[in-house]
Amino acid sequence: MGSSLVEKLSIINRLGFFNSFTADEKRQVASEDSHFQVYDPGTVVIRKGSSDQSLLIILSGSVAVAEGTGDAVLAILKAGEVLGEMAFLTETRRTAQVIAREPVIALKLDRLMFEKFPAPIREKFKDQIIMKLVTRLDMANRELTRYRGTGNGGSPAETPGPFRVPAAGAAESELATGRDLIRKIVSNTTSLPAMPAVMLKVQQMLRSPATSPAQLAKVIETDAAMVTDILKLANSAFFGFRGKVSTVQHASSLLGTRRLAELITAISAGSVLGSAMRGYNLKSGDMWRHSIAVAVTASEIAGAMSSEAVETAYMAGLLHDVGKIILDPYVRERKVLFDHYLETHPGKCIQDAERDLLGFDHAVIASILCDNWSLPRAISFAIRHHHQPASAGDHQLAHIIHYADILVIQAGLAGSGGYAPPELDPRSRSMVSLDPDTLQHSVEKALQYMDGLKGRLFAP
Ligand SMILES: Nc1ncnc2c1ncn2[C@@H]1O[C@@H]2COP(=O)(O)O[C@H]2[C@H]1O
Domain 197-452 -> CATH class: mainly alpha
Cβ atoms of 296 and 389 closer than 8 Å: no
How far, in Å, from the CA of 412 to the mean position of ligand 1? 42
**pLDDT above 70: residue 166:** no
pLDDT value, residue 32: 65
**pLDDT above 80: residue 37:** yes
pLDDT value, residue 167: 36
pLDDT value, residue 356: 83
Query: What is the spatial order of strands in the sheet that 73-78 belongs to?
Result: 44-46, 97-100, 62-66, 73-78
Cα distance between residue 211 and residue 224, in whole Å: 22
How far, in Å, from the CA of 225 to the mean position of ligand 1? 51
Residue-wise pLDDT tens digits, 381-430: 999 999 999 999 999 999 999 999 999 999 988 877 777 888 999 999 99
Q: Please compute the mean of the pLDDT values over residues 241-263 and round it to a whole number.
A: 90
Cα distance between residue 248 and residue 234, in whole Å: 9
Q: Please compute the mean of the pLDDT values over residues 287-294 and round it to a whole number.
A: 95
Q: Count of alpha carbons within 13 Å of 255, Cβ hemisphere only? A: 32
- Percentage with pLDDT > 70 across the chain: 88
pLDDT higher at 340 or 63: 63
Tell me the best of 74, 77, 139, 337 to mutate to test the pocket of ligand 1, counting ligand atoms within 8 Å of each CB and taking the most: 74
- Percentage with pLDDT > 90 across the chain: 48
Where does the pLDDT of residue 82 fall: very low under 50, low under 70, confident under 90, or very high at 90 and above?
very high
How far, in Å, from the CA of 86 to the mean position of ligand 1? 7
Tell me the best of 53, 63, 65 to mutate to test the pocket of ligand 1, counting ligand atoms within 8 Å of each CB and taking the most: 65
pLDDT value, residue 10: 86
How far, in Å, from the CA of 84 to the mean position of ligand 1? 6
Q: Whole-number mean pLDDT of the chain?
A: 85
384, 385, 388, 391: CA torsion to nearest 10: 120
Cα distance between residue 12 and residue 18, in whole Å: 7
Q: Please compute the mean of the pLDDT values over residues 242-263 and round it to a whole number.
A: 90
pLDDT value, residue 383: 97
Which residues are near ligand 1 (CB < 6 Å)?
46, 65, 74-75, 83-87, 94-96, 98, 136
* Atom 8 (ligand 1) nearest CA: 96
Return all residues near 126 (Cβ < 8 A) that are at least 6 apart: none
Q: Please compute the mean of the pLDDT values over residues 162-174 and round it to a whole number.
A: 34
Strand 62-66 with 97-100, pairing: antiparallel
How far, in Å, from the CA of 177 to the mean position of ligand 1? 23
* Atom 3 (ligand 1) nearest CA: 75
3-class state of residue 315 by DSSP: helix
Cα distance between residue 368 and residue 370, in whole Å: 5
3-class state of residue 305 by DSSP: coil
How far, in Å, from the CA of 65 to the mean position of ligand 1? 7
Tell me the best of 83, 107, 135 to mutate to test the pocket of ligand 1, counting ligand atoms within 8 Å of each CB and taking the most: 83
**H-run or E-run covering 381:** helix 377-384
Cα distance between residue 196 and residue 268, in whole Å: 6
**pLDDT above 60: residue 333:** yes
Q: Please compute the mean of the pLDDT values over residues 336-359 and round it to a whole number.
A: 84
Cα distance between residue 440 and residue 425, in whole Å: 18
Q: Please compute the mean of the pLDDT values over residues 193-203 and round it to a whole number.
A: 91
**pLDDT above 70: residue 146:** no
Cα distance between residue 223 and residue 221, in whole Å: 6
165, 169, 170, 172: CA torsion to nearest 10: 40
* Atom 20 (ligand 1) nearest CA: 84
pLDDT value, residue 15: 84
pLDDT value, residue 172: 33
Task: Give one DSSP letter per residue of 222-282, joined into a string.
Answer: T-HHHHHHHHHHHTSTTTT-TT---SHHHHHHHHHHHHHHHHHHHHHTHHHH-S-BGGGTB
Output the pTM of the full model: 0.61
**H-run or E-run covering 430:** helix 426-432
pLDDT higher at 201 or 171: 201
3-class state of residue 394 by DSSP: coil
386, 391, 394, 398: CA torsion to nearest 10: -10
pLDDT value, residue 344: 77
**pLDDT above 80: residue 58:** yes
Q: What is the ipTM of this complex?
A: 0.98
How far, in Å, from the CA of 98 to the mean position of ligand 1? 8
How far, in Å, from the CA of 176 to the mean position of ligand 1? 22
Return all residues near 289 (Cβ < 8 A) that are at least 6 apart: 413, 450, 457, 458
381, 383, 388, 394: CA torsion to nearest 10: 40
Which residue type sits at 4?
Answer: S
**pLDDT above 50: residue 155:** no
* Distance, C-alpha 105 to centroid of its chain: 32
Q: Which residue, 102, 121, 123, is CA-closest to 58?
A: 102
pLDDT value, residue 413: 87
Residue-wise pLDDT tens digits, 6-30: 888 888 888 888 888 999 999 888 8
Tell me the best of 78, 95, 97, 111 to mutate to test the pocket of ligand 1, counting ligand atoms within 8 Å of each CB and taking the most: 95
Q: Which residue, 318, 325, 323, is CA-closest to 297?
A: 318
CATH number of 5-116: 2.60.120.10
**pLDDT above 80: residue 454:** no
- Atom from ligand 1 closest to the CA of residue 53: 18
How far, in Å, from the CA of 97 to the mean position of ligand 1? 8
Task: Sketch the domain layout of the chain as residue ranges.
Answer: 5-116, 197-452
Cα distance between residue 129 and residue 82, in whole Å: 7
Where does the pLDDT of residue 337 fall: very low under 50, low under 70, confident under 90, or very high at 90 and above?
confident
3-class state of residue 46 by DSSP: strand
Return all residues near 185 (Cβ < 8 A) that are at least 6 apart: 191, 192, 326, 330, 365, 368
Q: In Å, what is the CA distance from 352 to each residue of 104, 360, 362?
A: 38, 9, 10
